Amino acid sequence: MVKAIIMVKVDAGKDKEVLEKIKIINGVEHACATYGIYDLVIRVHYQSVESLDKFVFHDLRTIPSVRETATLICSSFVT
């Protein structure tokens, strides 16, 4: 199991639009808009790094308003 936090920069005013697209993708546990350098924070879990890669490179980064991502793979996770 791979868990990760992904921080996302989007075009101005597009955070809600991107959140709507992200929340229906399998593997997304939580997504929220934030203040600061990044506009969105997403918590995900996948069975493999390859599945995480698919989400980041083929699902998330192909959304037109997404400008930048930073992925932090968790070594441990407390819930």
Q: What is the pLDDT of residue 75?
A: 87
The tens digit of pLDDT for each residue in 44-73 reads 999 999 999 999 999 999 999 999 999 999
Q: What is the pLDDT of residue 77?
A: 64
Grade residue 76 by pLDDT with cuts at 50, 70 and 90. confident
CATH topology of domain 2-73: Alpha-Beta Plaits (3.30.70)
The pTM assigned to this predicted structure is 0.90
Question: Can you give the residue ranges of every domain in the chain?
Answer: 2-73
Which residues, at least 6 apart from 23, have a Cβ–Cβ distance to it below 8 Å?
A: 31
For 29, half-sphere exposure in the C-beta direction (CA atoms, 13 angstrom radius) is 12
> What is the rounded average pLDDT of the residues 6-21?
96
**Helix, strand, or coil (residue 34):** coil
DSSP one-letter code for 36:
S
**Helix, strand, or coil (residue 58):** helix
